[in-house]
Structure 1
């Protein structure tokens, strides 16, 4: 099957041909990956006879998939230019990310709210799109609804929730940018990002 046709099932259709050309031009192994809670995508430079490798989580909505793909290709481009001399998210990467995002702005790929959030993010891109909360919230609005999944910031104080690995927590007060949460079994304190996705446990506060 043609790679552009495959990409069209994950990306906005108008963006797929350019990403397909990048894969060929940079001779990159592009893999659609399982879900990873800690990251949306990953870039690996050439090593031990393997070329450039990029992987992006399969379950991202089309706009999040595209932003993540451009983010990782900016790493590849920066590595080609500077190898290990450039910091992973330093000035060189920021310039490349900005430049490589431009064609998608010109094609008007993104809805107005995402475009506005990306523009703010491009002025000083952080290490990942997850860490820019405005951009992350804008991208999440286009996710398919998930039953009983909610972000930590939307839970009431003392709400009980669980993670995919089954651990159960109680939400406590906000400390600067993150929420203090206590694991119910161990009583250990953890700090959660406001946009961490968790599953609320029903009727804990009523029962």
Structure 2
């Protein structure tokens, strides 16, 4: 099946042809992956006879899928220029991310709030894309189930919640960017991202 047609199922309108050209130009193995809770996408440099490899989670909304795709291709482009001699999300990567995002800005592929969030992120050298909560929250608004998702920041203080592996915690105070939470069974303290997805537990 033509790769543009496949990519069109996951990307915003108009974005697939350029991504398909990148795959060919960089001779990259591009895989649409199963959902991974720990990451949206992944880049692997050439190793033991294998070329560049990029994978992006299949369940991302089109805007998140495109941002993740550009993020990973910027890693590829930066590796071609500098190999492993620089920081993964350093200024070189940021410059490539910005440059590779530009055609999609020009096509007005993104809604205004996503464009604004990406631009703000790129203007903040201290933030990595993985930890930029404003960009993450903005992209999540376009998920099909956005209103149904419960995150740590949405639940009240002292609320009890469960995570995907079944462990149960109580939400405590916020410490800088994360929330201090106590595991009920062990009394151990863990720090949770505000946007970590959880399930409220009724303790009444």
TM range (shorter): over 0.9
Which digits, 9 at most, give the CA deviation of each residue in 1:101-146, with x for residues without a partner? 0000000000011111111011135332x31111111101001116
Residue 50, structure 1, aligned to residue 77, structure 2: no
Secondary structure of 1:14 counterpart: coil
Residue 127, structure 1, aligned to residue 139, structure 2: no
Secondary structure of 2:6 counterpart: helix
| Equivalent pairs, count | 203
TM-score (norm 1): 0.94
Question: Counterpart of 2:96?
Answer: 96
| Runs of 5+ consecutive residues of structure 2 not aligned to the other structure | none
Q: Supply the distance in 2 between the matched residues of 1:9 and 1:170 (Cα, whole angstroms).
A: 40
TM-score (norm 2): 0.95
Q: CA deviation at 1:148?
A: 5.5
Question: Pairwise CA RMSD of aligned residues?
Answer: 1.3
Secondary structure of 2:186 counterpart: coil
Secondary structure of 1:153 counterpart: helix
Q: Supply the distance in 2 between the matched residues of 1:167 and 1:197 (Cα, whole angstroms).
A: 13
Q: CA deviation at 1:49?
A: 0.3
Superposed, which structure 2 residues align to 1:109-148 within 5 Å?
A: 109-124=109-124, 126-128=127-129, 130-145=130-145
Question: Counterpart of 1:17?
Answer: 17
Q: Supply the distance in 2 between the matched residues of 1:70 and 1:93 (Cα, whole angstroms).
A: 11
Q: Contact 1:63/1:110 (CA < 8 Å) preserved in 2? A: yes
Q: Contact 2:152/2:196 (CA < 8 Å) preserved in 1? A: yes
Q: Supply the distance in 2 between the matched residues of 1:169 and 1:138 (Cα, whole angstroms).
A: 27
